A and B are shown apart, each in its own frame.
Chain A
Amino acid sequence: DAGVTQSPTHLIKTRGQHVTLRCSPISGHKSVSWYQQVLGQGPQFIFQYYEKEERGRGNFPDRFSARQFPNYSSELNVNALLLGDSALYLCASSSIVHNTGELFFGEGSRLTVL
């Protein structure tokens, strides 16, 4: 079975541009979460979606947005990129909305902002 897949794996953008990152959860998983991992730090929670509804949002500016599609895949959008947005963006899926279980992570999309 395929795990969580993310695309693109690497991308380079310049300040002010916007970026769209994509995630396909494990088949049957209806919950998708997004995390930002800056070099040298642990992942930080950005969003959680379940059944196409936003269920949680971390402490990130409105430049960050996301959505979940009927097939449970998800997109993370970041507008007006800043140098500080350079990070590994991780997507995770799970089969239940409440985190009493396991999150399955993808390998991430590494974003470099120049």
Chain B
Amino acid sequence: AQSVTQPDIHITVSEGASLELRCNYSYGATPYLFWYVQSPGQGLQLLLKYFSGDTLVQGIKGFEAEFKRSQSSFNLRKPSVHWSDAAEYFCAVVPSPGFQKLVFGTGTRLLVSP
């Protein structure tokens, strides 16, 4: 079945440590790929997106993501986490370009310890 999988429900990282959040998708063709962040009481904010080209994508707030076609993955990374990064992170895909529908994963909640 077509789906987006975020295998980690919660992740705790020490402030200043590096971060990697995992995302796998199962679609026949390479979909458009996105990472969104949701802070408590706020809407979703786009961190970065991948359509084609360079497989390493830079986003806002110091985040980056790498698309790996062979692994059907689009993992989010940050070299040094700040306490303000604590939030819920969602990977999302547009499975059929030309139709505006985002399919989201179940999310990963990031906790940042002092």
Binding site for B on A (CB under 8 A): 3-4, 31, 33, 35, 40-45, 48, 50, 55-56, 58, 90, 92, 94, 97-100, 102-103, 105-108
Q: Which residues of A contact B4 (CB under 8 A)?
A: 42
B28 within 8 A of A: no
Beyond known contacts A3-B43, A103-B44: 16 more, CB 8 A cutoff: A41-B106, A41-B107, A42-B90, A42-B104, A42-B105, A48-B101, A55-B100, A56-B99, A90-B43, A94-B100, A98-B98, A98-B100, A99-B97, A100-B94, A107-B41, A107-B43
Q: Are B102 and A103 in contact (CB under 8 A)?
A: yes
**Chain B residues, CB < 8 A from A90:** 43-44
With contacts A42-B106, A44-B104 taken as known, whether A98 is within 8 angstroms of B43 at the C-beta atoms is no
Check A99 against B101 for contact (C-beta < 8 Å).
yes
A106 touches B43 (CB 8 A): yes
By a CB distance below 8 angstroms, the chain A residues around B104 are: 42-44
CB neighbours (8 Å) of B32 from chain A are 99-100
Interface of A is mostly: loop
Q: Are A45 and B97 in contact (CB under 8 A)?
A: no
Contacts of A98 in B (CB 8 A): 97-100
Given A4-B43, A100-B32, A105-B44: A43 and B97 interface contact (C-beta under 8 Å): no
